[in-house]
Amino acid sequence: MKLHAILITRNDDLIIEDWLERHHHMFDTIAVVDGSDGDFTRTACAPYPNIRYGTDPASPITDQTLRHHGFELLRGDITEGDWIFNAHPDEFLVHDPHSFMDLPWNLFLWLPLHILPHTSEMDAWHAMGGRRPIALFRHFWWRRGRLPHCELRMWRFVREPVWDLENPKPSSEVIPMNYLGEPLPNCMPIYLHFKCYDPRPEMYEADGRAKRSQLETGVPGRSAGEGFFFDEEHPYMEEGEVWNVARFTSVADLLTRFGNPPRVIHDDQGKPHMVNHLGQGVH
């Protein structure tokens, strides 16, 4: 049983080298689907023999068409029962996916802690010329007052996947459509999502959307400029929710607070709650 990744990337020059360095050893094979304008990502991938490199498909660019293309790049390496992890270069794993491969489920939700640059990190960012956000940004935000948004990131190849290649909506499911409805475990492994890893104003439209993304990514509702550095007085807003801010000093601190991994439980009224390994609520 092997573990593979489908890595979707486009113009992630500031972060792709860090992702490959940290994660290439986790996966038997990595299918890279690259929509970048230049050759930076292709060059960064070249030293890794377990990478199967390809560019964006000719079809309309959606989550489903990109991952279908990545799955086809893996055809010669994958066998029934293997696991596939749907990855992005701005998502850095805290838990090792191998820890969950023997559990009796075919899908896993992962909990992203969204990392956004804080005003206390602004001077260091400029001093480094806007490089190495992974080494600088250490503040995470997440929704307060309700369960955080989790992502379907990991699925087991137990049937021929069916991808939606007709729907033109760019942002859609990142797993094959015929895997929806599978039972999910109550454990939620963690990854760090560098939501705004490039705060240079020229990279964004006035409304916060990334200029060079075909999947409408970015930070919605914000203007470009120094406003991408957030502090406690001006908390990040998404979907009308104020996010908490907390500084973490180590992975151990995260696992103590959230659990290893965090779990979802239901109270007597059937309402879901996320708790750590001590049964304490993590909100």
CA distance 197 to 136: 10
Q: Which whole number is the average pLDDT over 246-272?
A: 89
Say what the pLDDT of residue 33 is: 97
Say what the pLDDT of residue 243 is: 76
Q: Which whole number is the average pLDDT over 102-130?
A: 90
CA distance 199 to 182: 38
Partners of 114 in beta bridges: 141, 193
Kindly list the distances between the CA atom of residue 280 and the CA atoms of 19, 33, 262, in Å, as whole numbers in the listed order. Answer: 32, 40, 10
What does DSSP say about strands 151-156 and 83-87: parallel, antiparallel, or unpaired?
Answer: antiparallel
CA distance 139 to 115: 6
Cβ neighbours for 237, distance < 8 A, ≥ 6 positions apart: 221, 243
Check pLDDT > 90 for residue 169.
no
The whole-chain average pLDDT of the chain stands at 88
List, for residues 106-119, the tens digit of each pLDDT value. 999 999 998 888 88
Angle at 119 between CA 115 and CA 122, to 5 degrees: 90
Say what the pLDDT of residue 5 is: 98
Q: Which amino acid is at 266?
A: H
Check pLDDT > 80 for residue 281.
yes
List, for residues 43-87, the tens digit of each pLDDT value. 999 999 999 999 999 888 999 999 999 999 999 999 999 999 999
- Confidence tier at 4 by pLDDT (50, 70, 90): very high
Say what the pLDDT of residue 226 is: 61
Cβ neighbours for 181, distance < 8 A, ≥ 6 positions apart: none
Say what the pLDDT of residue 219 is: 62
> How far does CA 243 lie from the centroid of its chain?
18
DSSP conformation letters of 189-258: -EEEEETT----GGGB-TTSBBTT-SS--B-TT--SSGGGSBBTTB--EETTEEEEEEE---HHHHHHHH
Say what the pLDDT of residue 72 is: 97
Say what the pLDDT of residue 240 is: 61
Q: Which whole number is the average pLDDT over 183-188?
A: 94
- Confidence tier at 213 by pLDDT (50, 70, 90): low
List, for residues 220-244, the tens digit of each pLDDT value. 555 545 667 888 777 776 656 677 7
Check pLDDT > 70 for residue 247.
yes
Structural domains of the chain, ranges and CATH numbers in brackets: 1-89 (3.90.550.10), 111-158+186-283 (no CATH)
Total residue count of the chain as it appears in this document: 283
Say what the pLDDT of residue 177 is: 96
Kindly list the distances between the CA atom of residue 62 and the CA atoms of 19, 119, 145, 153, 185, in Å, as whole numbers in the listed order. Answer: 22, 34, 31, 16, 27
What does DSSP say about strands 29-34 and 107-115: parallel, antiparallel, or unpaired?
Answer: unpaired
Looking at per-residue confidence, does 73 or 218 come out higher? 73
List, for residues 135-166, the tens digit of each pLDDT value. 888 888 877 667 788 999 999 999 999 999 99
DSSP conformation letters of 80-147: TT-EEEEE-TTEEESS-GGGGTTSS-SEEEEEEEEE--BGGGHHHHHHTTS--HHHH--EEEEESSSP
CA distance 209 to 222: 8
Report the candidate in 12, 20, 96 with the shortest Cα–Cα distance to residue 51. 20
Say what the pLDDT of residue 35 is: 92
Asked whether 236 and 141 are in contact (CB, 8 A), the reply is yes
Cβ neighbours for 163, distance < 8 A, ≥ 6 positions apart: 64, 65, 67, 68, 71, 176, 177
CA distance 70 to 54: 8
Global pTM exceeds 0.85: yes
Check pLDDT > 70 for residue 104.
yes
